[in-house]
Amino acid sequence: MKKILDLISEEMQQAFEKAGYAPELGRVTLSNRPDLCEYQCNGAMAGAKQYKKAPIMIANDVVAVLQDSPVFSEVSAVAPGFLNLKVKESFLADYIKQMADDEKFGLEMPATPKKVIIDYGGPNIAKPLHVGHIRSAVIGESVKRIMRYCGHEVIGDVHLGDWGLQMGLVITELKERQPDLIYFDDSYTGEYPTEAPFTVSELEELYPTASKKSKEDPAYKAKAMEVTQQMQSGVRGYRAIWQHILNVSVADLKKNYARLNVDFDLWKGESDVHDIIPGMVEYMKEGGYAYESEGALVVDVKEETDTKEIPPCMILKSDGASLYNTTDLATIQDRMDTYAPDELIYLTDKRQELYFEQVFRCARKTKLVKPETGLKWLGFGTMNGKDGKPFKTRDGGVMRLEVLIKETTDEMFRKITENREMSEEEAKETAQIIALSALKYGDLSNQASKDYVFDIDRFTSFEGDTGPYILYTIVRIKSILAKYKDQGGSLETVTLQAAQNESEKALVMQLTAFNTAVEGACAEIAPHKICAYIYDLANAFNRFYHETKILAEENAERKAGLIALLMLTRDVLETCIDMLGFSAPERM
């Protein structure tokens, strides 16, 4: 479906043409003076020079042509030559009727859908998830859903950090504690046990202990580095433990992400490209891209137009070890070979900006990607505590995802049981659903690149720009619809009608902006635009609700029209929150 603003502009453009002016002048925008009009057109002023006429004369000519317009109920020429516009309720009603009949509420599908890989989540196995990983997961999941809704083929890849020193540290610590484990017996050639020699909670203790020791004891660190190197080069026992760490961690991560309503199509990691690195390095050398500099192998990535220094991209360290870079470049190669995506999108902490600039330039220069392949990076800010520092637990530790979810859920439970009657079980389930909206909306409603303060009191509030407020609005609609049914009404037979009051019209106008909002959020990779849209929509709905008799409406036809409007509002809101990665309960 065409966007509402395009339809309105078309009508205006035809009017300009009929009045003898260039149609291009008839572009309409949303009014920046909603107190005066709904839309506006400034074309008469733009045309003054060309037609050597006072703008107000042009505007008056256009007004004259639009007397019987099916689109405009009011067109007024205002000095010095503005065209202030109001649209007809019947025109809006036609538009939302078409929206309601359309599977995507009027959003047009792309002529050529893109195949996109989104690299998000990025947890490091054996290490607990920190707040940065939570943001990556929440934002990435939403970007994936928005792009999918917009008709693109999207593959989400968790890109595990599963190949670094943290693995060597865990193995080293395990060896210190249990040197007799079969994995450490060099002469052993048989199969290794399928059961891991540690549980997930043991693993969670092993890593921090080892990490602490390595910081205090250089010999320990040297040992861990050697173990890492040996594991990477394929020492059997170490590889077997690595596999256990991976399995145990991934099972736990899957549980955690499921709680966050986040899921990945691919569970690949840095380790997956280990074997293709040597070939890629050769290719970069042979192509003349990579050269040796102070023993290391590097690719220059600076460009003439740079205003700041962009250091070369290091491919191999002087000891031949690969780096974070190397893995990312090899992963790009692997993704191109396996999936041939049109676009790659990465989500990380914004401190990795320069890093991704280097990696992308290097990938282009070395032709790992096609010239037309999109490489995009979305850097997000930090989730801070009220003290303005990165969010921590009360005792100053790394904030674990489970804890964050639990604390929010407990607070939500407290709030909903405070003044509502609900069985314990239902309250628990409902608290979980609302808590997720609080967490996710609290994050997604900010422009991703900005830091924000995690404020549990504000996020869990039923008022203001919050997830619970949006859910509350949806639940309010659902409850009216349920009552309508209880009164014997049928939801199947209701049809949308022209708005009859101002707040109803405002709600309808907000609904008609759905396709514009979603398209913008997708094009700009900006979930906060969906949040802004539904916040406005929820506000428009609630104002309408307070000013309009719905269930008490006596005219059955009018009542049915209002019910149809409620249904469309509910559907649009639920579609949007699904794009944000959460859902609404039946009651709350």
Q: Which is nearer to ligand ARG, 166 or 437 (CB)?
A: 166
- Residue 563's closest CA among 463, 486, 472, 502? 486
Q: What would the 3-class secondary structure string for 242-263 be? A: HHHHHHHHHHHHHHHHHHCCCC
Crossing angle (nearest 10°) for helices 165-177 and 236-259: 110
Q: Which is nearer to ligand ARG, 315 or 560 (CB)?
A: 315
- Residue 444's closest CA among 491, 393, 508, 380? 380
Binding mask 335-374 for ligand ARG (x = CB under 6 A): -----------x-x--------------------------
With tokens 């703008």, the residue in question is: 55
- Residue 335's closest CA among 114, 112, 119? 119
For residue 373, the minimal CB distance to ligand ARG (Å) is 15
For residue 118, the minimal CB distance to ligand ARG (Å) is 10
Grouping H, G, I as helix, E, B as strand and the rest as coil, residue 53 is coil
Q: Which is nearer to ligand ARG, 69 or 348 (CB)?
A: 348
Q: Give the binding range for ligand ARG (CB under 6 A) out of 72-80, 116-124, 167-175, 207-215.
A: 116-124
Q: Is residue 161 close enough to count as binding ligand ARG by CB under 6 A?
A: yes
Q: Is residue 122 close enough to count as binding ligand ARG by CB under 6 A?
A: yes
AA letter at 227: V
Assigned token pair, 581: 């990665």
Q: Which is nearer to ligand ARG, 11 or 119 (CB)?
A: 119
- Applying CB under 6 A, the site for ligand ARG has a residue count of 8
How many C-beta atoms lie closer than 10 Å to residue 338's C-beta?
12
Q: Is residue 119 close enough to count as binding ligand ARG by CB under 6 A?
A: yes
What are the beta bridge partners of residue 347?
378
Q: Which is nearer to ligand ARG, 100 or 404 (CB)?
A: 404
- Residue 160's closest CA among 267, 275, 249? 267
Q: Which is nearer to ligand ARG, 122 or 527 (CB)?
A: 122
Q: Which is nearer to ligand ARG, 40 or 166 (CB)?
A: 166
Evaluate whether 360 touches 376 at the Cβ level (below 8 Å): no
Q: Give the binding range for ligand ARG (CB under 6 A) out of 89-97, 118-126, 458-466, 511-519.
A: 118-126
E strand or H helix at 83, and its extent?
strand 82-87
- Residue 574's closest CA among 582, 563, 566? 582
For residue 346, the minimal CB distance to ligand ARG (Å) is 6
Binding mask 306-335 for ligand ARG (x = CB under 6 A): ----------------------x-------
Distances (CA, A) of 498 to 204, 505, 534, 571: 60, 8, 22, 19
How many C-beta atoms lie closer than 10 Å to residue 333's C-beta?
20
Q: What would the 3-class secondary structure string for 352-372 be? A: HHHHHHHHHHHHHHCCCCCCC
Evaluate whether 314 touches 372 at the Cβ level (below 8 Å): no
Evaluate whether 470 touches 443 at the Cβ level (below 8 Å): no
For residue 122, the minimal CB distance to ligand ARG (Å) is 3
Q: Is residue 242 close enough to count as binding ligand ARG by CB under 6 A?
A: no
Half-sphere exposure of 515 (CA within 13 A, CB side): 22
For residue 318, the minimal CB distance to ligand ARG (Å) is 23
For residue 446, the minimal CB distance to ligand ARG (Å) is 20
Q: Which is nearer to ligand ARG, 61 or 328 (CB)?
A: 328
Q: Which is nearer to ligand ARG, 38 or 119 (CB)?
A: 119
Q: Which is nearer to ligand ARG, 107 or 131 (CB)?
A: 131
Q: Which residue is nearest to ligand ARG (CB)?
A: 122
For residue 252, the minimal CB distance to ligand ARG (Å) is 16
What's the chain's length in residues?
Answer: 588
Q: Is residue 140 close enough to count as binding ligand ARG by CB under 6 A?
A: no
For residue 264, the minimal CB distance to ligand ARG (Å) is 13
For residue 317, the minimal CB distance to ligand ARG (Å) is 18
Q: Give the binding range for ligand ARG (CB under 6 A) out of 117-125, 146-154, 206-214, 294-302.
A: 117-125
For residue 328, the minimal CB distance to ligand ARG (Å) is 5
Say what the alpha-carbon torsion angle 460, 466, 472, 478 is, to the nearest 10 degrees.
-140
Q: Give the binding range for ligand ARG (CB under 6 A) out of 119-127, 165-173, 425-433, 504-512.
A: 119-127
- Residue 580's closest CA among 160, 253, 106, 148? 148
As to burial, measured by CB atoms within 10 angstroms (0-12 exposed, 13-18 middle, 19+ buried), residue 515 is buried
Q: Which is nearer to ligand ARG, 47 or 161 (CB)?
A: 161
Instruction: Find the binder of ligand ARG among 3, 144, 159, 213 (CB under 6 A).
Output: 159
Q: Is residue 528 close enough to count as binding ligand ARG by CB under 6 A?
A: no
- Separation of alpha carbons 346 and 349, rounded Å: 10
Give the residues lining the site for ligand ARG (CB under 6 A): 119, 122, 124, 159, 161, 328, 346, 348
